[in-house]
Each structure stands twice: as structure tokens, then as C-alpha cells.
Structure 1
């Protein structure tokens, strides 16, 4: 029997072009989850209503909160620290501070709560799941505050861990993914103690700076993916808003083209997985 997995497009709200591509894929049954950046510049009522309409046509589609705690975005709370030029720190700077215990967990908890509240105001309900932009939910100094906030405001939501369900010999091929494996071990412990559900497996991390063959990558991601595992993706159309915010541009269009193309659904079937 086919295993149901989550194919989740991150970053809804980062730009109109990304939003449009994600909605198109949802409407055509090529995605069954997306996570929303409530601090993004393209997350007004019209964009929310359009996403809700697209998801209504695909009832197995989950809509989550993409908690954002890294640059080049601004916090929703007035007194959040540390900042750089009024923006969150870069993900590398935030991770470094977390590793040496220099992140204020109380301020992070307040910010995550504010983003959860903003999601509920926009969608009229709590998110189906909660994850983090640039995997910041896994960082030391962030994960405890993140888990506590989700437990408080959205206890029925599941949270994203980014550890791969693979033998060790297969996990040594990607330094980036291996770091996520290590960070996810502690994150899963925190989530389990809080009695929050989390995905059993994860895939989708790769070097965005390279012109990778996304079809070949997707074949790797789907291989042996567990029931309810998450495959992360970043489809989108490039526009000026996106170019001004994120270095991941052209690769988003490559991801969109593959997911919309003729090879994708047979690939799901060949791996005995389904989005339905």
C-alpha cells in the first residue's frame, strides 16, 4: 500500500511570485502542505484568502506556520533582541549565539507566540503544523522556547524535526543534512517531553548555491520515505520582491517546473508514496 507523505512548500508569504506558484501546485495536487511566513511582505488578506481557496480544492492540504527568526526579516515584537539594523540576525549568527548560550529564550518565546497569534488572526484558526525558516526551530537557545510556545498556543499542531530516517553510511553524504540530523536529536527530545507530535522523517535539504538537478534530488528524497515523513521544497516564480529578500531564486523555478511536470506523479507511484 502507498505511504502518505507531506510534500511541503516553505515560504508562502515571502513574495507574490512564490505564493502564486505554491497555490498553483496545491490546486493541481502536486503539494499537500505549505508553511506561511506571517512576517513576510506578501501575506495580506488577499493572499491568505487565495491560499485558503486553493487548499479547499485539495482537502488533504495542511497549512502551517513558518516561524521566522532570521534575517532579512523583522520581528513582530517591539523589544526583540538581538537585532542587526532592526532585522533578525543571519541564521549563522543566530546559530553561533545559540551554541554559546547567548540567545534570550524569553524574548524568543514571546516572538513565536506573536507569530502564532498573527497566523490565527489571518486564518481564523491555529496552524496544522509549525516549522521554522532556515530550520531555526532546531537551534540551541531557540528550540525550548519554540516548543513551549507551540504547546501553549497550538497544542494539536505537529512540529517539524529535520532528522533523516537513513542508515549512518547514507547520512554522511551531505554536511548540511548531517548538521540538521544532529540538531534534530535534541529537538525531538524537547517535543516528546511536551507531548507534541512530530514527523518521523525528513528530506529536502541540499546546496541551493549549486545548479542541481531537482528531479534527481527528488528521487533521493522519496527513496524509502516513511509514512508521514516530510519532504521540504521551495517552488516559486522569481519576482523583484523575492530577489530583494532571498538568494534562492532561479532554483525555485526549477523546483516548480519539476513538480508541475509529467515526471513527478509517476515518481511518486514508483516509490509507493502518495500525497492524498
Structure 2
């Protein structure tokens, strides 16, 4: 039976090369969603206008907010805490603080609200969906701020949960953590009246030896209708090299999604991209 899924490119706004690669794939009909890092310099009015032009009046891709709360990125709001050299903490310290409930709730709420407000300023509307860079939307305390802000600014938006169609096993500790965090996230989202994706896929080890074209079909196995696959296509430029260790893999993802092999893999799995 044919299934319709969401293929979402994260990190629009991180760097000009990432922006260009995502727009290219949307124009080719190879993506149907992208989430935007509104706090970054590469997400300015010109980048937003280019994305809106690419999506077009027919709205051939959904545009979401990619809540960003980890280094090397910096907050939109003054007096955010904690900071490290003016930037958010790196992923592990942020997760540990969240698990220990040591984050400043008021500071979180102000920052997440500011990222929603910036999205509305850039795109003239609320986001179609909400997720988080490095899955921060799932973390304790942060999820409270994200869900409350979504209910306030974009009550019709769906929010991304990271639970798999089949629970992760002992050989996938990251998947197990995302599954566990997502159980609470889904329950809390339902309490706010917010919709979530039925299942999630797309995580893998960002190793230089990874053959993305080989592993992508596995993301489709067991993914239900309406499921979501996360991806990170991009072209390497100086900004990306400065901000993120994942560079060449982004180009490999772009090359795969632009290829006939990607279309063949969708057809073999009886999968099509959902219409926004």
C-alpha cells in the first residue's frame, strides 16, 4: 500500500550553502518540508524571501521553525542563561541541565517566543510545524517552553516527536533516548491539543565513511503513512565549516536526493512525498 511521508530538511538558515541546497531540492520536488533556524545570520529577509519564492503560491513544501538552543549558536534575547562565551551551551551540557531541571524557565520561554516572533517577521505567518536543532524540543523544561509557545503562536502547527515506528534496541542508545523522551513529549503535546508525527526516522552516525544512499532506504522500513524522515542536505561553504562539523555528508545527502536512485528507492518502498 502506498504511503505518504514527510521528508524534512533541517537547518535552513544555518549557512548560504545549506539554504541553496534545500531550495534546489524543493524546486526538484525532492523535499516537502524544511525547518528554519531563525536566530542565525544566514536566515535574513533575503533568505526567507528566496524560500517563499521557491515554495511558491502552490505551497509545494511546508516551512517550520527549527528551535535552536545549542552552541555555537547565540540567543536572540538578552540575559539568556546559561551561556558559554556568549553562545548557548553545547548539546551534552544542555541536555544534562535539562534532565536535572536546572534551566531558567523564564529565560527559555523568552528565547523560544523570540524565535517564533522572528519567524513571523521573516515569513509573514506562523510556522507550519515546529521541531528543534539536535532534538532539543524533546528535552525536559525545553519541551514545556516549546509546546507552550507553539500553542500560543501556532496552534495549528504539528510538533516533531522522535519516536521510531519500531522501538530502538540496545545497539542504538541515541534512538532509545529519543524514544523515551518522545513518550513524554507526545503526551504533553496532546495535553496542549497539538498534533505530532506518528513516527520518526533519519538519525545515523555522522561518519565520513557513511554511505547515505545505502542507509536511506532503511529509514522507510515500517514508517507509517504520515511518518517523518529528517535529513540535512547542504553545499559546503565557509560559514558551514565554521558552524558545524557535518559538511561533506550534507553534500552527499543533496546528491542522493537529487538522483534517480532516490526516486527508485521511494518507488520500491511504495512511498511518496505528502502534499503540504
* Same fold flag (TM > 0.5): yes
The match for 2:109 is 109
In the alignment, is the contact (CA less than 8 A) between 1:3 and 1:274 conserved in 2? yes
Aligned Cα root-mean-square deviation (Å)? 1.2
Q: Give the Cα–Cα distance (whole angstroms) in 2 for the partners of residues 53 and 174 of structure 1.
A: 40
Q: Give the Cα–Cα distance (whole angstroms) in 2 for the partners of residues 248 and 156 of structure 1.
A: 32
Q: Give the Cα–Cα distance (whole angstroms) in 1 for the partners of residues 98 and 136 of structure 2.
A: 10
In the alignment, is the contact (CA less than 8 A) between 1:27 and 1:57 conserved in 2? no
State TM-score, norm by structure 1: 0.96
Per the TM alignment, residue 173 of structure 1 is displaced from its structure 2 partner at its CA by 3.6
The match for 2:155 is 155
Q: Give the Cα–Cα distance (whole angstroms) in 1 for the partners of residues 231 and 33 of structure 2.
A: 10
Q: Give the Cα–Cα distance (whole angstroms) in 2 for the partners of residues 43 and 145 of structure 1.
A: 22
Q: Give the Cα–Cα distance (whole angstroms) in 2 for the partners of residues 210 and 93 of structure 1.
A: 25
Q: Which runs of 4+ in 1 moved over 4 A?
A: none
The match for 1:188 is 186
The match for 1:16 is 16
The match for 2:121 is 121
State TM-score, norm by structure 2: 0.96
The match for 1:270 is 268
Residue by residue, what CA displacement relative to the aligned partner does 1:92-115 show, whole Å, maximum 9, x if unpaired? 100011111101122111111110
The match for 1:241 is 239
Per the TM alignment, residue 209 of structure 1 is displaced from its structure 2 partner at its CA by 3.1
Residue by residue, what CA displacement relative to the aligned partner does 1:223-255 show, whole Å, maximum 9, x if unpaired? 121111110000000000000000010100110
Per the TM alignment, residue 57 of structure 1 is displaced from its structure 2 partner at its CA by 7.0
- In structure 1, the residue corresponding to 2:260 is in which secondary structure? coil
Q: Give the Cα–Cα distance (whole angstroms) in 2 for the partners of residues 251 and 39 of structure 1.
A: 24
How many matched pairs? 274
Per the TM alignment, residue 152 of structure 1 is displaced from its structure 2 partner at its CA by 0.8
Q: Give the Cα–Cα distance (whole angstroms) in 1 for the partners of residues 24 and 170 of structure 2.
A: 35
Per the TM alignment, residue 53 of structure 1 is displaced from its structure 2 partner at its CA by 1.1
The match for 1:202 is 200
Q: Give the Cα–Cα distance (whole angstroms) in 2 for the partners of residues 269 and 59 of structure 1.
A: 23
- Show structure 2 runs of 5+ residues with no match: none
The match for 1:212 is 210
The match for 2:47 is 47
- Show structure 1 runs of 5+ residues with no match: none
In the alignment, is the contact (CA less than 8 A) between 2:80 and 2:107 conserved in 1? yes
